[in-house]
Structure 1
Amino acid sequence: MGMSAAVLFKSGESIEINKLLYSLIDLCNKEGLYHSQDLKKVDEDEKLKYCEFCVSDIPLKDSYDRQLCFGIADEPYPYKLVNFDWDPSEDYFKTVVSSDFDDNEDLLFKFLFAFLNEFPVAKVWIEEDWFYTIEDLKAIKASYDNNWCYINPKDT
């Protein structure tokens, strides 16, 4: 389907990228996920500002089709602030943005469920215009449907 997902934090409340990377590595280890990181970008002070972080539930070298890659950005970062009609007074920072997750919806759910358990103030934005909180993901987990990300949680 060619969709992506973004993990949002209110602007100014996102996790510093180095701390986030350590948390993601720990999260993957706890969840039994394989991971790698690459494509690092640093600022003029050599501070990490962006990297790519990939996860899979099988060894990454075994299948490129069974991995999800996420762009991880440190706030501030160009073009990562968004504003939504449901909360026009707040800007949100797209801290973690997935690549296309088609055919890996279950892997996306596993990663996002673990992520939001670690950072419950975050929200997940699916390109369609709907959002998931940790409470939404807990409800989905109780009666999991692999099409979860194509259904507005408000409609369930």
Structure 2
Amino acid sequence: MTKLLLSLHVLAAIVAVGPVTVAASMFPPAVRRAALPEGDGGAAAELGTVRLLHRICRVYAGVGIAVPLLGLVTAQVMGVLGDTWLIVSIVLTAAAAGVLLVLVLPGQEGLVERLEGRGAVERSGTVRLAVLTGLFNLLWATVTVLMIVRPGSTTGA
């Protein structure tokens, strides 16, 4: 049962978190391209790309709830719920979810609305979003390392 739960947890992380990290990272440069005047490379196709990247982030963020749920069940079955590395991972996962839900997704939504309304898109807005996305990605990378290294683990891995 443990191997099945662990496999599902890892697969959910790859399938759900992977697309969000990639799409969110691609979003700020796509907005910059879409904000260019028509003759300088800005086009309706770029706005479509921006909308698609935002939709990917929203949908996979919702699917991503399976990752911590499967992780908690797996940790309970493995008897590691009280381990420090897992508690730190849970806190970092919550922080990553917070950054995504409170900062990244609303930031993307605001930029999409500006582009749709033909409003000006400040470079500082896309840079801020890129930094927040980088923070989200760094938090997930740290959780991934903790899941692999598991400080204090007696498994020898």
State the TM bucket, normalised to the shorter chain.
Answer: under 0.3
What TM-score do the two structures reach when normalised by structure 2? 0.26
Higher helix share: 2
Tell which structure's C-alpha radius of gyration is larger. Answer: 2
What TM-score do the two structures reach when normalised by structure 1? 0.27
